[in-house]
Structures are given as C-alpha cells and as structure tokens.
Structure 1
Amino acid sequence: MNEMIKEHIVVAQNASGRNMNVPLYRFIGEQPGPKVYIQSSIHGAEVQGNVVIYQLIQFLKHIPLNGEIVLVPNCNPVGTNIKAGEYTLGRFDPVNGTNWNRGYFYDQALIQEFAASIDDKESVQSIKERFRSQIKQQLQNKLNETWGIGLAQRLNLKLQQLAFDADYVLDLHNGPVATRHIYVPEYAKESAKLFNIPHVILIPQVFSGALDEATFCPWWLLSDLVSAKRQQAINFEVEAFTLEMGSQEVVNFTEGKYDAKSILAFLTAKNCLPANTSNPETIVRKAVYLKDYKILYTQAGGIVEYMAQPGEVITKGQVLAKVLNVDNLDNDQATHDILAPCDLIPILHFPSASVLSGTQLYKCFTEYFEL
C-alpha cells in the first residue's frame, strides 16, 4: 500500500520571530506514475478545500497509488488568522496589500532562452528534468534576493517550488457566494470533463500571477517553441487547474467528499489510480472563454437582495437583484431592480447585502456553450 509521509514546512514568521508551519502530506505509491500537487486556502477565508484534502487522505489510505501525491492544506496560515469580528479578511497580505495568489514567478525570456538550448535529439523526459531544475533554481534565487521580497511573494515561491515538480497541479479555492466552477487552460479543455464541476472557464496562455498560470504557462510556451523547432507536436503532459468549490467561510464534509471523489475521477483518468477507482459523473458542463466571463458592477450603492442564485440560467431582462436606498424610503425611488443585460449564468455574487457604487456585484457566464 502507499507510503504516507507527514512533514511540516515553514512558510512565514510572525512578529514574535516564531516560525509559521503548515503540514504537508506526501503519499508515495508502490508503482511509478505521475506526480500530483494539491493545495488549499491560499486565501484565508476559502476553507472548504481543507475538508476536500481531508477526504482525499481518507481515500488515499486505502487506494493503491501510481506515482506520488503531495497535499498541502491551509497553505497560508497568515491569511487564515486575519480576522475582523466575524469575518476572515485573508485575501490580501495585510502589510503590503498584495493578493496572496498573485506572487508566483514567470519569466518568458528565460523560457525562450531554455528552448534555444534544446537540441533535436534530447528526449522529452530529459527536457522536463532540465527545465524543472532551472525554474526551481530561479525560484531559490528569488527567495535569496539580497534586498528581500514581500511576505506574499515569499509564501508563493515556497509553494511554487513544490508545485513545479508536479505533472498535475490543483489549487483549491472558493468564491464569495458561489457555485462550483473551474479554470482550465484552453489546451487542456478535454480534462475539464473529468471533474464533477458544471461550470468551466477556459483561460488563455496569459500569466496574471496565479499558481495555475505559473504552472501551465511555462510548459505551454515551451511546448509551442519546441514543437515549432522540431516541426512536430511535443506534449509535456503538465496541466494545472484552479477549482472553485462553492462559497467561502463555509465548511461541509458531505460536499467535501463529493469534491474529493471528483478529484479522484480526474486522477484515475490520468493513470494516478487504478482503472475505475472513480469515474466522472454524467452532468451538463457549461463552458465560457475568459473574455466572456463578465463582471456586473453596481451603478449605485444601497442594500441588496440577491434574486439570481449562482448557477441559475437567467434570461436578458430578468431581475438579478433588488436594491434599497434608505434615503428614499418615503418615495418611489426607494427601490430599483438590477436587470440582466443579456442571457447569462451568475457564477458568484458579492457576499454582503451592503454595497457601494462600483462593487463587483455578480460574475457571470455570457456566450456560454456546452462542453
């Protein structure tokens, strides 16, 4: 059966100079196979991924594994502990204001230079090993920067060192009030069908700082460069995804087991687990290209009732939300409706009933299609 190793890694130090550790669970199978990296809670309020990892561990204790799976729950203990009253404010580094999920490393020029060093006879396996070694050295160089780096970036680079060794990377997140959805690189579109997730956002090869992009963008670009050089398709078989599993500040063990089985279905299809360990459900999957994933902002502030629920199919002109203006309770300007500007599917909405003008009220699928 699998070997399980529990480690702790230091991701930060608090103001008292004490190390802040997070657990790392490493499952190593008896048979060779792909390497998988899964982390959760890079944003402090997004806690459901920890339950998913717990459920995965329960399964992996009893399922023979091919290769290795590395699990890092609660990977950002700083963010998890930033509380304001009842709420967790763990989306941004409190010192520098940086989004905890935007400090990963990507250097296009370095990738182009590496591609030029590849001769026509070098094997794909050799290329992968050399490329991983070079990127990981660059990550260590960044961590050793003489002038230092910000807390969020340091945390990100430590995690990226672990993730870049993997063939498959899953970053577990939650929306504010949200339905399940997944970010998938366009070249891995078919893999979206392996998860039990009904809403799919197809993203281009554009690095915006997140872990999934920091993983697949280098390999995607390298694949294009080497394929052009050799005049044949070269696939390094590396994929990375951001899984959004419902709403933040909510934990549900039953839903966590469902999502764990969804991940097991993906891992089964990728030959990490024995055939038929878990199969994806037959569900309708709606997909959208990132350019058609639209944000609806509020034109005016007020108190909001969210009428359209995440995942609901909405037609143009249907009421999305009703807004109350407390300065006009005595006249016919007290309320107004926010209408859908087109046919859409709301994927998430702002968590509070009190909104300022210019608030990101809803994020929506438009121009969507079945995958």
Structure 2
Amino acid sequence: MLPTTSSLQIGELAAGQALTIPIYHFKPSADKATGPKVYIQANVHGAEVQGNAVIYQLMKQLEHCDIRGEITLVPLANPLGINQKSGEFTLGRFDPITGANWNREYLNHAIDLPTWYREHANLSDSELIQAYRSTLIEACQQKLLYEWGITTGHRLAVNLQIMAHCADIVLDLHTGPKSCKHLYCPEYDLAAAQFLSIPYTLVIPNSFGGAMDEAAFCPWWQLSDVAKSQGRDLAVAVSALTLELASQERVCLEDARLDAQGILAYLSHRGVIAQTVAPVKMPRFGCYLKDYKKYHAPSAGLVEYLAAVGEPLAAGQPLVNILRMDLYGTVDELKSLSLPQYCVPILHFASASVHQGTELYKVMTHVFELPAT
C-alpha cells in the first residue's frame, strides 16, 4: 500500500511564497484500525538530514505491511533550516532572525491540571484522554491565532505540534554534530528502548525543556500524576522519543534501513502493524539525564578529538589534544586533556578550531545496562 500525500503551509517567505512541508499518511481500513496513531518527523534542524533517509526506508517497508494504526510521516519538517546554508555547510540549528533553537519553540501548555481534572473527573479513561487531547490541540490552534502574532519559528513548531498531539506515539528524528546513535526516552517508557536499534539511551525526567518529545509527553505524564494524586491509576497515554541517528550532514541509506527496521520493531510491538518484527539483539546502555555531562574547552585552540564516540573511555584516558600554534616553543604548545571518571563519549563538536568554553564533548556517566526484552 502506497501512502497518500499532502502538504501543510507553515508560513510565508518574505516575497510572499507559501512555505509548505510534505506529509505522508498510511491509514488502515476502518475494519482494521485497532492500533495507536503514530507521528514521525525529521530534519527540524537543517543539517540533520539522516532522519529523512530513515523515513524513506521506513515507508518502503510499510508499503508491504498490514497497517493497523494511522501513521503520519513528515520528512523535511523545517524548510527554512534546510536551506540555511553558508558555503558548503548547513547552519540550520537556530532561527537566524531570533537566534532561537528551532527545536525549542514548541508550546508549553502550563495547564492548571488540578482544576482541569476536577472538571473532567467523571469521564471514563478513554473519554478523559480524548477531552485532554482536544484541549491540547485547541490551545495550539489558538496560539496560531494570537492577536499579537507569533515568530516564524514558533509558527512552524506549533503547526508540527498539532500533528503530534493527534498521535499516541511521537518519534522525532535528529542527529548530533559528530555523534553515535542515542535515544532520549522518558523514564516511564524506558522499555521502548529495547525495540530500537540504538545502543545508548538518555533517561529523561518529567520536565519541559522546549523540545518536541517533551512537548508531546510532558502534558500526559503530568495528567497521569494528577490523576494518581486523586486515587486514579491513569497510564501515560502518549509515548514520545527523540532518536539521534549519528552525525549531521550525512546520509547513509543502508544505515537508515537498519534504523527503520528498529522503528518497525517498535511499531510491531505497539500493534501499529500486524506483522511481528523482532528487535535487533544487541547490548543497550543508559544513563539518567542528570548524569549526561558536557565538557567545555578550558582554552581555545586547534582540537584533535581522541575519544571515539560510542566507545567507553576509562578515567584518565586522553579525550582531546589542544594545539596552540601561537604558543609554539612553550610548555603550553600542546596539551592533552582527560576526564577524571569513566564515561561513554556520545558526541563531540564538529569543528577542529574552538573558542575557550566551546562544548567539546557530551558524555554519559554512571552508565548502566538496560534489561533485555
């Protein structure tokens, strides 16, 4: 079954042309619509293009699947970021007008949940979920109509957020600068990590930081907590994950096929497709977000990155060399830097020339192995 295609206008260019994004839908027949709804997007950051290849490979496999839940796929989700080029590089991580991170523009609903819950407590679980979903979507729609207007980046993000709020499963596909594959997963849904073909998982708390995954799951986690405080056991209704698919400015179709297979295994587990797709057998490791550390350059210079991403690094082993040509002939011409504890480097800065204070590496500490399925 081929997907249906449509487009959504998410803004206008300065000369008046409509700014649109492509959307693909796989929809089951009415008698088979038993599975959850899925929303998958890619390329919110301009240089992070591998997610588009994963969506391509996933759609190729979904064409041959028995679809049980509606699937909406949005590659090329940020045409402004994709086209934000400087020479051979894509700069599209930040809105060039406001400086805001494109992936930090989603609406923080900040609903008075105790009051909202009291007004809807008489509803069944399914009715409560539908009412809350409608509340979230309506808030986004009202934001787009705000009388004082909203920024270009906020308009893009809230349009994407409306589609995400219609789904039970939200997957946001990203990459790092120079990175290994890793996953952002909320603590309540950690079992989901066992189905994806990703070796490292960051376990994130119930805290809104502006990203799509948090915009999708935080309202539901908060609703579940409020319901439990009133003696009602209400499961978190939405699963939202951010998949970091290695490095930016890179497309690898074979690697994308493997990641699409992992997503398919997760969708199989959730009943979105009728076929049984087994997850890849591999060791998977995690750490809590509070133990995910940033290492900043203590001085400027030219950097030789020594620690391989995705490979454990023992305490005291060299992380980088910093070369200072302006200090040639002194004891500071070449410095080797290391970290005082065991860690797993996950990503590092893309450039070999850095200012003092540049975020050189992000590393996992207090790493633990995730239980197998």
* Class of the TM-score when normalised by the shorter of the 2 chains: over 0.9
2:340 match:
341
2:67 match:
65
Percent of aligned pairs with the same amino acid: 42
Equivalent residue of 2:69, what SS?
Answer: strand
Contact 1:111 1:218 in 2 (8 A): no
1:167 match:
168
Task: Write the distance in 2 (CA, Å) between the matches of 1:367 and 1:338.
Answer: 21
Displacement of 1:252 in angstroms is 0.4
1:41 match:
43
Confirm whether residue 322 of structure 1 aligns to residue 337 of structure 2: no
Superposed, 1:25-36 pairs within 5 Å as 25-30=24-29, 31-32=32-33, 33-36=35-38
Q: Normalising by the residue count of structure 2, what TM-score does the alignment of the two structures yield?
A: 0.96
Equivalent residue of 2:81, what SS?
Answer: helix
Equivalent residue of 1:98, what SS?
Answer: coil
1:194 match:
195
1:152 match:
153
Superposed, 1:1-371 pairs within 5 Å as 2=1, 4-30=3-29, 31-32=32-33, 33-120=35-122, 122-229=123-230, 231-276=231-276, 278-371=277-370
> What amino acid does structure 2 have at the position aligned with 1:216?
F
Contact 2:170 2:216 in 1 (8 A): yes
Contact 1:5 1:26 in 2 (8 A): yes
**Greater than 3 Å deviation, 4+ residue runs:** 109-112
Contact 2:113 2:226 in 1 (8 A): no
Task: Write the distance in 2 (CA, Å) between the matches of 1:109 and 1:51.
Answer: 37
Provide Cα deviations, 1:209-259, integer angstroms capped at 9, x if missing partner.
Answer: 111001100000101111222x24211431000000000000000001011
Contact 1:3 1:29 in 2 (8 A): no
Task: Write the distance in 1 (CA, Å) between the matches of 2:177 and 2:117.
Answer: 40
> What amino acid does structure 2 have at the position aligned with 1:266?
Y
> What amino acid does structure 2 have at the position aligned with 1:28?
K
> What amino acid does structure 2 have at the position aligned with 1:199?
Y
Task: Write the distance in 2 (CA, Å) between the matches of 1:56 and 1:205.
Answer: 29
> What amino acid does structure 2 have at the position aligned with 1:294?
K
Equivalent residue of 1:42, what SS?
Answer: coil
Displacement of 1:275 in angstroms is 4.1
Contact 1:103 1:156 in 2 (8 A): yes
Contact 1:350 1:361 in 2 (8 A): yes
Contact 1:3 1:28 in 2 (8 A): no
Provide Cα deviations, 1:82-102, integer angstroms capped at 9, x if missing partner.
Answer: 011111010011111111011
Equivalent residue of 1:227, what SS?
Answer: helix
Equivalent residue of 1:66, what SS?
Answer: coil
Contact 1:28 1:67 in 2 (8 A): yes
Contact 1:184 1:192 in 2 (8 A): yes
Contact 1:219 1:238 in 2 (8 A): yes
Task: Write the distance in 1 (CA, Å) between the matches of 2:113 and 2:4.
Answer: 33
> What amino acid does structure 2 have at the position aligned with 1:54?
Y
Contact 1:38 1:171 in 2 (8 A): yes
Contact 1:35 1:165 in 2 (8 A): yes
Task: Write the distance in 2 (CA, Å) between the matches of 1:50 and 1:119.
Answer: 41
> What amino acid does structure 1 have at the position aligned with 2:49?
V
Q: Normalising by the residue count of structure 1, what TM-score does the alignment of the two structures yield?
A: 0.97
Displacement of 1:110 in angstroms is 3.6
> What amino acid does structure 2 have at the position aligned with 1:141?
Q
Task: Write the distance in 2 (CA, Å) between the matches of 1:208 and 1:57.
Answer: 30
Unaligned ranges ≥5, structure 1: none
Point out the more displaced range, 108-117 or 90-99. 108-117
Displacement of 1:14 in angstroms is 1.1
Q: CA RMSD in A?
A: 1.1
Displacement of 1:135 in angstroms is 1.1
Q: How many residues are paired up? A: 367
Task: Write the distance in 2 (CA, Å) between the matches of 1:147 and 1:294.
Answer: 39
Task: Write the distance in 1 (CA, Å) between the matches of 2:88 and 2:337.
Answer: 29
Provide Cα deviations, 1:163-183, integer angstroms capped at 9, x if missing partner.
Answer: 001000000000000000000
Displacement of 1:15 in angstroms is 1.1
Contact 1:124 1:236 in 2 (8 A): no
Provide Cα deviations, 1:283-320, integer angstroms capped at 9, x if missing partner.
Answer: 11110000000000010000011000110110110001
> What amino acid does structure 2 have at the position aligned with 1:126?
E
Unaligned ranges ≥5, structure 2: none
